[in-house]
Structures are given as C-alpha cells and as structure tokens.
Amino acid sequence: MMALSQTISGFRSSRWFALVWIAPAVLAGLFLLVLAARGIRASEGGQSFVTAFPGESALPWFAPVGFPAWLAWQHGLNAFFLLFIIRSGWLVRTTKRPDAYWTRNNSGLIKTPGKPVRISLNLWMHISIDTLWLLNGVLFYVLIFSTGQWTRIIPTRWDVFPNAISAALQYASLNWSVENGWVNYNSLQVLSYFLVVFIAAPLALITGIRMSPGLAVRFAPLDRIFPLPVARAIHFPVMIFFAAFTVVHVTLVLATGAIKNLNHMYAGNNGYGWGGFWIFAASIVIMVAAWIAAKPIVLRAIAGTFGHVGR
Ligand code: HEM
Ligand code: HEM
C-alpha cells in the first residue's frame, strides 16, 4: 500500500503528471476544431468559399509534371542528414561536459594563420553533416531553378492564401478531396514547402554560421548588428519548426494515400504499386542502422581522419 501511494505521489510530482490534463485537453480541442470546420463547411458561405477556392492554385503553363529521380534522391538525403543534424544539435545543447574534442589539422589543403579552434565532438558532427546538407541544398536550388520544378513550391499567384485556408478547412473537417501532388500540390503544401526550403533552411544556415566558433573572430565586427545571442535565439526555434513540420508532413503523407504519395517521392511514378513503399522502408532501415552505428568510438575514428581528437 505504502509503495503504491509512493508511486502515485512520485508520478504526481513528475513532469509527466501534466499529461493527465494536457492529453484530454488536446483531444477536446481537436474535437472542437473538427466540429467547427464541419460547421463552416456545411454553411452556405463555407460551401461557396470551398467552391471558389478548391484548395489549389493554378501553376504556370511551363510547370513540369511529376518528380525526376534527382528530386527524390535529394528529398531522401535531406531527411537522412536532418535526422543527424537534429541529433547532434540536441547533443550540443544538452551536453554540459563533452568527453571529447576535435581540432582541425592546420596543414595540407586548408592552412590558416593562428591556431584552429577546439570544438566538441558533437559540434564537429553537427557542422560536418551541416556541410553535406548544405551541398545537397545548393544542388537542389540549382536544379529546381534550372528545370522549372521551382514552380511547384514557390507561390506565383495571390489566391494561394485563400486556397491554403480552404485546404486547411478541408483537412480539419476530415473530409478532403483526392490529392494530386503528382501534378500540383495543394496550397497548404506549397506554402509549407516554401517556408521550409526558402525561409527555415536559410535561417538555420545564417544563424548557424554566425555561431560557428571557428568564425567568431571574423564575425566580431557583426557583434552589434547581429549579436550571437540573437543567432542562438533563432537557431533553436528553427529546429523546433523543422521537427514540427516533419511530424505533420509525414502524418499527412501517410494519411492522404500513403502508397501513392510514396510512389511519387520515392519511386518517381504515379501508380499504385509497392515500389515507393519499399524504397521508403529501405531508407528508414538505413537511417536506423546509421543511428545505431553513430557511436562515440565510430565518430572519433572518422573525426580523427580530419583532425585531432582528444580531451
Ligand atoms: C522521411 C519521411 C518523409 C516522407 C515519407 C516524405 C514524403 C514526401 C512526399 C510523398 C512528398 C510528395 C507529396 C505529394 O506528392 O503530394 C514530399 C514532398 C516534400 N517533402 Fe517530404 N517526406 C519526408 C521527410 C521530409 C523532411 C524531413 C523534409 C524537410 C524538412 C521534407 C520536405 C519536403 C518538401 C520540401 C517537399 C516538396 C518537394 C518538391 O516538390 O520540390 N520531407 N515528401
Ligand atoms: C548549415 C547549417 C548549420 C550550421 C552551420 C549550424 C551550426 C551550429 C552551431 C555552430 C551550433 C553551436 C551553438 C553553440 O555553440 O551553442 C549549433 C547548435 C544547434 N543546431 Fe545548428 N547549424 C546548422 C543547421 C542546423 C539545423 C538545420 C538544425 C535543425 C533542424 C540545427 C539544430 C541545432 C540545435 C538544436 C543546436 C543546439 C542549439 C542550442 O544549444 O540552443 N542546426 N548549430
């Protein structure tokens, strides 16, 4: 009896206790949201709004149809890199006393005056994967602008805004028309992909470079117009945005015709076979395997080939 009451009082004082009221409150909130969306859609005004703005905005005539293989590769690599960027960023934030540090070899190709800065192994991993992510991203920008794929994720008409509201209303009422991402994304997708690619990613880059210890001396003149604490105050919420976007994005991908959507982005076709699903599943297996392999001993060995690892 004693043990049970201790367990209960332990749970009451733990931070999980808040879930006792947060979970039902969130459920009740969602329920009300669905009811409200259904109410609006049933109304005359709501119906004419959804008819006038069905949820997607017209594309320019030269917009391509479907996704080329390079886009699928870049999308998949982006997800892979982000997983480890968030993991290492999180470790940078939460590790008070890192047990290993890395210093760049100041010889060979990149030789700079002065002593290279010592950074934690976690930050070494963060910045290394950032570099790969950045290369992938630069290539993505070059390719979407040279092929017209940009028209799919950059709004070109103002009616994208009412159409996004309409798409949100349709999702919230749990009754949406058939999606056709192969030809045109709905406006909510367009706006959120635009935010991720053209606002969040550049923000992460600018604030991340600003915080890079190796560049601190060079950025000293920026201390007044773009102080370090400002960069830090932006960088972390950007990570939260990436994580929240991914949760909602993947949930909707799976809830709005998983097999077809996975075929679009992973197999580059618009059919109903299982190809996209299997490629996606393989990509998840690779992510899990890399996650397990990324042990300190392995990271030290890799970091050691680019510099000095020590305490
Ligand atoms: C690993 C889980 C993921 C899956 C299964 C997935 C799936 C998809 C699918 C199926 C599409 C096309 C949607 C359609 O045809 O309607 C798409 C597009 C897109 N996804 Fe993801 N995604 C994932 C992770 C991510 C992450 C982590 C990001 C970025 C933070 C991201 C950003 C995008 C963007 C920007 C597009 C539009 C690409 C373009 O058309 O240029 N995705 N995703
Ligand atoms: C090329 C782009 C990026 C660069 C150069 C970069 C660089 C950095 C640097 C130098 C730090 C250390 C800050 C410190 O010493 O306290 C850091 C921390 C961090 N980064 Fe990045 N980063 C980049 C992209 C990203 C992205 C895309 C994410 C997540 C989606 C991310 C998530 C984090 C997190 C969570 C931290 C810990 C922040 C904190 O302590 O408040 N970074 N990053």
Residue type, 101: Y
> What average pLDDT does the segment 269-288 reach?
96
Which tokens is 87 given? 């993991």
Higher pLDDT, 41 or 14: 41
Q: What DSSP element (H or E) covers 307?
A: strand 307-310
- pLDDT tops 80 at residue 213: yes
Comparison of pLDDT for 37 and 220, the residue scoring more:
37
Look at phi and psi of residue 104 and say left if phi exceeds 0, alpha if psi is from -120 to 50, else beta.
Answer: beta
- In which band, very low, low, confident or very high, does the pLDDT at 29 lie, cut at 50, 70 and 90? very high
Mean pLDDT of the chain: 92
Atom in ligand 1 nearest the alpha carbon of residue 152:
40
Atom 23 in ligand 1: which residue has the minimum CA distance? 250
- What is the spatial distance between Cα 128 and Cα 251, in angstroms, rounded to a whole number? 29
What is the C-alpha to C-alpha distance for residues 151 and 89, in angstroms, rounded to an integer?
32
Going by alpha carbons, the residue nearest to atom 2 of ligand 1 is 250
Q: Does the structure show a pLDDT above 90 at 15?
A: no
Rounded Cα–Cα distance for residues 249 and 186 (Å): 13
The whole-number pLDDT of residue 113 equals 66
Output the CA–CA distances (angstroms, integers) from residue 280 to 70, 238, 250, in the order listed. 15, 26, 12
Q: Please tell me the distance from the alpha carbon of residue 85 to that of residue 199, in angstroms, as a whole number.
A: 18
For the chain, what are the domain ranges? 53-310
Residue 234 has pLDDT above 70, yes or no: yes
pTM of the complete model beyond 0.85: yes
Contact assessment for residue 105 and residue 309, using Cβ atoms and an 8 Å cutoff: no
Structure tokens given for 285: 């297996």
Distance of CA 66 to the CA centre of its chain: 22
| Ligand 2 pocket list (CB less than 6 A) | 82, 85-86, 89-90, 92-93, 123, 126-127, 130, 134, 204-205, 208-209, 211-212, 232, 235-236, 239, 242
Query: Across 61-199, where does the E strand assignment appear?
Result: 101-104, 118-120
pLDDT of residue 2: 59
Ligand 1 atom with least separation from CA of 179: 16
How much of the chain is helix, strand and coil, in % rounded to 5? Answer: 70, 5, 25
Cα gap 303→295, rounded to integer Å: 12
How many CA atoms lie within 13 Å of 212's alpha carbon, on the beta-carbon side?
Answer: 18
What's the gap in Å between 298 CA and the centre of ligand 1? 30
Ligand 1 pocket check for 75: Cβ under 6 Å: yes
Ligand showing the shortest atom-to-Cα distance for residue 276: 1
Question: What would the pLDDT profile of 247-265 be if each residue is shown by its tens digit?
Answer: 999 999 999 899 999 999 9
Taking only the tens place, the pLDDT of each residue in 103-140 is 988 776 666 667 788 999 999 999 999 999 999 999 99
Share of the chain above pLDDT 70, in %: 96
Extract the tokens encoding 168.
């949100």
Whole-number Cα distances in Å, 60 to 67, 95, 143, 255, 268: 17, 49, 18, 28, 22
Nearest to 126 by CA among 22, 236, 50, 32: 236
C-alpha of residue 62 to centroid of ligand 1, in Å: 22
Region class of 65: left (phi > 0), else alpha (psi between -120 and 50), else beta: beta
Task: Please compute, for residue 198, the number of CA atoms within 13 A of its CA located in the half-sphere on the CB side.
Answer: 13
Atom of ligand 1 at shortest range from CA of 185: 16
| Close Cβ partners of 86 (under 8 Å, ≥ 6 residues apart) | 239, 242, 243
Q: Whose CA is nearest to atom 14 of ligand 1?
A: 181
